[in-house]
Structure 1
Amino acid sequence: MELLILVWRQYRWPFISVMALSLASAALGIGLIAFINQRLIETVDTTVMVLPEFLGLLLLLMVVTLGSQLALTTLGHHFIYRLRSEFIKRILDTHVERIEQLGSASLLAGLTSDIRNITIAFVRLPELVQGIILTVGSAAYLAMLSTKMLLVTAIWMAVTIWGGFVLVARVYQHMATLRETEDKLYNDYQTVLEGRKELTLNRERAEQIFQQCYIPDAKEYRHHIIRADTFHLSAVNWSNIMMLGAIGLVFWMANSLGWADTNVAATYSLTLLFLRTPLLSAVGALPTLLTAQVAFNKLNKFALAPYKPDFPQPKAFPDWKTLELRNVVFHYQDNAFSVGPINLTIHRGELLFLIGGNGSGKSTLAMLLTGLYQPQSGTILLDGQPIAAGQPEDYRKLFSAVFTDVWLFDRLLGPQGKPANPALVEKWLEHLKMTHKLELNDGRILNLKLSKGQKKRIALLLALAEERDIILLDEWAADQDPHFRREFYQVLLPLMQEMGKTIFAISHDDHYFIHADRLLEMRNGQLTELTGDERDAASRDAVARTA
């Protein structure tokens, strides 16, 4: 299996050591059976020392078996830690566009369900390994006792194992379908949780979501999990009953066919009883390994960025003068809407407003400008020099942003990830009227339960604390009250310009367009700059222009 091959590649020598311990455990188990056969069955040893020797072997078997299982489990958890960490790092390194295509529901399912299933498999892996090794070792020991009986028993066991694998294969089929259904359920959960206010207001929609979306997906999940459990339990019971049948077969061969005496038959039966628990555990553990392989395949299908252990250290451009988008074109893969060609030159220190109707391409332009989307064609230039396509981090280092779907982090960071400038933070807390509303402790925000408008103010504080040259504000003032909205346009934006900031603000507040150095408009994916009478008309009625 690909999953085990990956473990072998990453942890070869620890894996070999664990296998050596497992072999030692199997050898001790078989040795204990041989001890019972030779010292307690064939020739009854009446000496007092036989009991301490027997107990010593038991203790040694327990220590080695426990050690091998713990070593394998520990190895598995190290692998899971590495797999989870690499998956998170790959998400961080993947283009935003790809993450948006995948959706948060499927990624969360990967981080929770898939990683959990792989973890469970590694917890059960010692049982599978022990079962296989003990079966092979016991077969070698039984061959020494009676070759003919071993051949018949081997055929019986082969039928047992074949039947178990046929049933387990059906488990795998249902587990594969089950994983796809889990993605649908995660999407249903997300709909219920994130749309809770709307669904509380509209009970008809809530009923429709529950009856037509959740219930069919939940029933599909129930169907496949029941079928998977049915085949799994069938495999376990099949193996259990066939093992008991093998014991009866052994005594029949010994007593009816005369292939062995009663002592050999007893040893055979004792060995099969010894094998029963590990073999059943191995059969029970196999579906978890198959489920883990399904989960591992699902993680690989995300097609995230390749894993790189280090975070790049972006190169700064402290003395740049102009930023240019030249013939930049971008189109989404899932529809025909495209943006561009965009031609725009931004001069350092400018205050630019961007207006446009819904779906006109404003947010897409913002993503292109900040380097979060990669253009299909065209060039982004800084002081006339093209930005290297393979090093977008250098370019992105110019930007801080507050998007409409803001995510509020709980820690203030300054340049280069260092603590934020306390004087700057204190100054802007006062400007944002949040001095007495925000609890800070060593740069950490303690109270994030704020109104939407207050969250936007804190997001602006976080962006300013980074002390980057360009700040993007996507309809920042939309969630502010009229008084603070006026404060934002007439006081805060000029203060940012005094700090040397270049500001690119998406706005619909036509009363304040006069404060912008330049006014840009997006319409049907095309960018134009409004000047003269056009700008005056937009300032009078932006709503009419974006209709």
Structure 2
Amino acid sequence: MRRYFEFVRAEAGRIDRLTVLMTAVAGIANGLAVATAIHTAEKLQPGSLHFRELLLFVSLMALFVYCKRYSMNESTRMMEGVVRTLRLRILGKLRTTGLLGQEGIDKGIFYSSLTADTSTISTSTVTAVNAVSSSIMLVFILLYIAVMSTKALVISCGIIGLLIFFYLGNEKRISSALVKSSVSENRFMNNLGGLLAGFKELKMNRRKYDDFSREELEGVIDDSAELKTDAGLGLNVTILIAQTFLLIAIGGILFLLPQFDSSDISIIPKLIALLLFASGPIGDFAMAIPAISRAEAAIDNIRALERLIDQGQSRNETICERQPIEPLSWGTIRLDDIHFQFPLREGGRPFSIGPMDLIFHKGEITFIVGGNGSGKSTFLKVLTSLYEPTGGHIRLDDREITPYNRASYRDLFSTIFTDYYLFRRLVGIDTPDGDRIQTLLERMELADKTSIEHGEITNCDLSTGQKKRLALVTSVLEDKPVMIFDEWAADQDPVFRQFFYDVLLPELKAQGKTVIAVTHDDRYFHAADRVYKMEYGRFVAYEEHAGGLGT
């Protein structure tokens, strides 16, 4: 439990003293109400009404309800604020993480940490508050027992100490199993994403589906179930220890106390009544143990995600995010001695591109060609400064691109990569022109398939080629000076492929746009002003094409 409360204290900034006071007062009021009830029970006479005791009991009950409600409500607000801050901080760190760092983190831990784990932490609040309030009531009951009998207090504290010893011995096993279970859940989330993304391929191949289900799903589910079962069995022992305390304590008072002092026999019924009243707080404490243990495992998983993001963070990206977007005037994008290498992975040889020296002229159409795996997509990410070059310089005319102007440089580009993501609304386009949107949808033959209303795309359930055409619509609406197309035409039919090269690209050039497109369509190379060819991560000489222009 210590890690849980340390987390709350660290993330909340400060815990409201009034909330702590109300929690304590609720526990004390509950204990005093119990003491009042026991004291009044000793004086009961047939037909008598102890009005003063009744008023005191009702007042204590009202005080308990008010203080407990206040502490629970404020604690809920505080914890939801913690969850909100946690999510925003992690997402904020992601903004200052380079693409390379983000790509190195499994998606499963993102989903589990920011959804299931934060939910687990959030729902633990009420049980934690109940446990704190109940522990105060238990302390009050022990003080009451001390007033009645020192020997009874010693017996009760001895039993509590013994149970705490067993609890601490069991806690390490539970914590270890829950942490391993969280890691297994991250793997499951990641593999579940693979199932949904590759569902078509799996459906086409029974053997492949069986293998994936057996190794990537069922195996992970079995591991997770085994770890959760192990943790659950440990938690059951802890709960049983807490719940057995009542019976052990009653047995100790009933059978051991008379052996030490026969004069205490007369107070045994009152002591047992006190212990029976303690069953409620003990139950609250027992309920809190598994909830807080799971919350601590969730906290560990979130901390693991933050460490992964921190490892991928870049000082240059942090500087970049702090700079305003400013308009940049330019005539050429020049790459001087640019090279890039992926980080070394265990058991593999890192892929690299470069060194290379290239110039892209404003208003021109440039095609990049090359075989699969030659480095074209990696080059585009370096060109757009999504990947920071290992060496060399990118310049706009003679102005070098640095972390201080990188955000403005990136803002020059509108991109459609091969692994593009189609957002469900026009993100970053404040006032879309309805007439222009309708014209573009009609030209892309999408007007009868989907529409864009109030910036929202009404239907994204389209074919691969249609989705790419819709992505092109959004790219044109962004109205950026440089447009990047990574094999955009690869999924289009011959009609739209010809439209792209012979109609759309010339129109974009006429509007002053700079177009850089990766393509394999050599029959349309006449549409380009320049053609660059990549082989094994480097640009090589390319023979003159039909339009008479070469590299």
State the secondary structure of the residue aligned to 1:304: helix
Alignment CA distance shift 1:260-1:437 (3 Å) = same
State the secondary structure of the residue aligned to 1:536: coil
How big is the shift at 1:438?
A: 2.8
1:148–1:259 contact (8 Å) kept in structure 2: no
Q: Which amino acid aligns with 2:473?
A: L
What's the counterpart of residue 445 of structure 2?
433
Q: Which amino acid aligns with 2:503?
A: V
1:73–1:125 contact (8 Å) kept in structure 2: no
What's the counterpart of residue 544 of structure 1?
none
Match 2:362 to one of 333, 348, 364: 348
State the secondary structure of the residue aligned to 1:379: strand
1:413–1:462 contact (8 Å) kept in structure 2: no
Question: Which sits farther off after the overlay, 42-51 or 362-371?
Answer: 42-51
How far, CA to CA, are the matches of 2:7 and 2:405 in structure 1?
30
What's the counterpart of residue 322 of structure 1?
332
What's the counterpart of residue 128 of structure 1?
131
1:413–1:466 contact (8 Å) kept in structure 2: no
What's the counterpart of residue 252 of structure 1?
255
Q: Which amino acid aligns with 1:362?
A: K
Question: Which sits farther off after the overlay, 442-451 or 42-51?
Answer: 42-51
How big is the shift at 1:340?
A: 1.4
Q: Which amino acid aligns with 1:421?
A: D
How far, CA to CA, are the matches of 1:527 and 1:130 in structure 2?
70
How big is the shift at 1:175?
A: 0.5
How big is the shift at 1:422?
A: 3.6
How big is the shift at 1:72?
A: 1.7
In the TM superposition, 1:66-77 aligns within 5 A as 66-77=69-80
TM-score by length of 1: 0.90
Unpaired runs of 5+ residues, structure 1, are: 541-547
What's the counterpart of residue 20 of structure 1?
21
Q: Which amino acid aligns with 2:491?
A: D
What's the counterpart of residue 32 of structure 1?
33
Alignment CA distance shift 1:147-1:100 (3 Å) = same
2:483–2:513 contact (8 Å) kept in structure 1: yes
Unpaired runs of 5+ residues, structure 2, are: none
Give yes or no for the alignment of 1:57 onto 2:57.
no
2:532–2:540 contact (8 Å) kept in structure 1: yes
In the TM superposition, 1:158-307 aligns within 5 A as 158-258=161-261, 261-262=264-265, 264-302=267-305, 303-304=308-309
What's the counterpart of residue 406 of structure 1?
420
How far, CA to CA, are the matches of 1:409 and 1:529 in structure 2?
38
**% identical equivalent positions:** 28
Deviations 1:487-531 (A, max 9, x none): 11001001111121111100000001111111011111112353x
State the secondary structure of the residue aligned to 1:326: strand
How far, CA to CA, are the matches of 1:144 and 1:343 in structure 2?
88
Give yes or no for the alignment of 1:151 onto 2:154.
yes
How far, CA to CA, are the matches of 2:284 and 2:41 in structure 1?
28
In the TM superposition, 1:108-123 aligns within 5 A as 108-123=111-126
What's the counterpart of residue 400 of structure 2?
386
Give yes or no for the alignment of 1:461 onto 2:461.
no
How far, CA to CA, are the matches of 1:236 and 1:367 in structure 2?
54
How big is the shift at 1:413?
A: 4.9
Alignment CA distance shift 1:390-1:283 (3 Å) = farther
How far, CA to CA, are the matches of 1:123 and 1:519 in structure 2?
65
Q: Which amino acid aligns with 2:528?
A: A
What's the counterpart of residue 543 of structure 1?
none
1:73–1:126 contact (8 Å) kept in structure 2: no
Deviations 1:414-466 (A, max 9, x none): 6xx42223454344334323334332212221111111111111111111111
What's the counterpart of residue 385 of structure 2?
371
How far, CA to CA, are the matches of 2:103 and 2:168 in structure 1?
40
Alignment CA distance shift 1:257-1:300 (3 Å) = closer
What's the counterpart of residue 535 of structure 1?
544
Q: Which amino acid aligns with 1:365?
A: F
Alignment CA distance shift 1:359-1:263 (3 Å) = farther
1:32–1:57 contact (8 Å) kept in structure 2: yes
2:167–2:241 contact (8 Å) kept in structure 1: yes
1:128–1:281 contact (8 Å) kept in structure 2: yes
Alignment CA distance shift 1:311-1:523 (3 Å) = closer
How far, CA to CA, are the matches of 1:19 and 1:348 in structure 2?
64
Question: Which sits farther off after the overlay, 238-247 or 294-303?
Answer: 294-303
How big is the shift at 1:76?
A: 1.5
What's the counterpart of residue 534 of structure 2?
522
Number of aligned residues: 535
1:77–1:122 contact (8 Å) kept in structure 2: no
TM-score by length of 2: 0.89
How far, CA to CA, are the matches of 1:113 and 1:539 in structure 2?
59
Alignment CA distance shift 1:352-1:44 (3 Å) = farther
Alignment CA distance shift 1:536-1:347 (3 Å) = closer
How big is the shift at 1:103?
A: 2.8
2:106–2:190 contact (8 Å) kept in structure 1: no
Q: Which amino acid aligns with 2:154?
A: L
1:76–1:123 contact (8 Å) kept in structure 2: no
Question: Which sits farther off after the overlay, 364-373 or 69-78?
Answer: 69-78
